[in-house]
Structure 1
């Protein structure tokens, strides 16, 4: 059994709480959690696997919180859930055979467009206008769920933001969009976590305590989002998108 540094364990749990608080609403928790795990000295792949364990625990918590509050369209997400799960399995398998870094420039462009569109469309996501899927939109949503599941397993950054954007485009308000997105994000997290566990790339000594702290953070974060509504979620969504852009640009240039 590896030695666990108690100081680092405390730092990781505190950082995990903060990461989950943000991630439970608009995603992007890995911006906080991953650097902390890497700082302990574990390998990048082990850090990714450990973060996926803690993130899946957090994701399940916020998913249940949104469902209990009625902020998830269950009929819609039950149709999309297996597609996201299947896509993530394919993406996780593909990343072992194909380098994923070629996607980074495209992701930067997409995140910039998502942020700008949300910024200039001031009233977007304030009220829900969703009235159900028609045949054509059902097909496109199925493709999007599978595609973003694959992307999350293959590369990952910005998945939560892209999911929220798609649900906003369907006519959901920001809180419902966040709730629906969280359920699909949980699906892709399960698939990726299973792969990391099978590869032996999860550090449970750090991952389980971090996951416990992230459960607390996701409970508080999702409840705040549900209580405060779109006026709280919208600026957080744009802030996280902007940070994701900065992180991807930094990785491109470094």
Structure 2
């Protein structure tokens, strides 16, 4: 194994572990691919391939633990897929400059609001589903799926925050539900990159194996240590996403 591949697999493992707990793993895995010299489009495609497999593994592990609320997410998944497809299509002809600035403020708000509200997401206050909440959840899934297909950074944070504030789930259940939706929205962009030959499988396959291991480790940590682990890491990753966006903006 070459030094470059060792670097990619190591950072991929860490990225997937963090992403399984609180989202934001792309902040770690994508720069690692760029650091070893992959062209941006191949770095994006290869990262999406490996991260999608890791996300699938996290989704399965969370589901087996009983943390995924399927009566809700089964309605949201088709809307997430549709939104991601529309977002991937729209990005071809629309500038992301405005979205970049808007997301900067939104992700900062999410991080700061969570930091200030000490008890937010620490207990599961889910009271059941109503027709209106299912509709709101589906619309939100389509909107965030569109955002993920169009732009991407912070999608996991927004999903986790929405499951907490809209439905009353705790951080662990919110992470589990968001991981399932995040995987579904990744499908569209993954197909797009694969169709256009932008995935380097010689790097993506070993990276995916290490990211699957990392996602399993992160998921088990989240399940066993609960909101006490997920909440602070969620705040940290939200702020790091905002810092990345500020750096890009400047």
- Above 0.5 in TM-score? yes
Aligned to 2:90: 94
Which of 58, 81, 86 aligns to 1:62? It is 58
Alignment partner of 2:128: what SS? coil
Aligned to 1:128: 124
Moved more, 136-145 or 208-217: 136-145
Aligned to 2:40: 44
| 2:72/2:134 contact within 8 Å kept | no
Aligned to 1:72: 68
Aligned to 1:155: 151
CA-CA distance at 1:135 after TM superposition: 2.5
Aligned to 2:229: 232
| Correspondences of 1:9-48 after superposition (within 5 Å) | 9-48=5-44
CA deviation map 1:168-221 (0-9, x unaligned): 011001100000000000001111101110111111111111111000000000
**Does residue 182 in structure 1 map to residue 179 in structure 2?**
yes
Aligned to 2:80: 84
The 2-side partners of 1:128 and 1:30 are apart by: 28
Which of 245, 251, 254 aligns to 2:248? It is 251
Moved more, 89-98 or 145-154: 89-98
Alignment partner of 1:99: what SS? coil
Aligned to 1:8: 4
Structure 1 residue ranges without an equivalent (≥5): none
Structure 2 residue ranges without an equivalent (≥5): none
Alignment partner of 1:35: what SS? helix
The 2-side partners of 1:233 and 1:115 are apart by: 13
RMSD: 1.0
Moved more, 169-178 or 122-131: 122-131
Aligned to 1:196: 193
TM-score with structure 2 length normalisation?
Answer: 0.97
Runs of 4+ in 1 over 4 A off after TM superposition: none
CA-CA distance at 1:132 after TM superposition: 2.0
CA deviation map 1:13-61 (0-9, x unaligned): 0010000000111111111111111122222111111100000011001
The 2-side partners of 1:74 and 1:197 are apart by: 29
| 2:24/2:237 contact within 8 Å kept | yes
Aligned length: 249
Alignment partner of 1:122: what SS? coil
Aligned to 1:209: 206
TM-score with structure 1 length normalisation?
Answer: 0.96
Which of 99, 108, 111 aligns to 1:112? It is 108
| 2:75/2:134 contact within 8 Å kept | no
CA-CA distance at 1:102 after TM superposition: 2.5
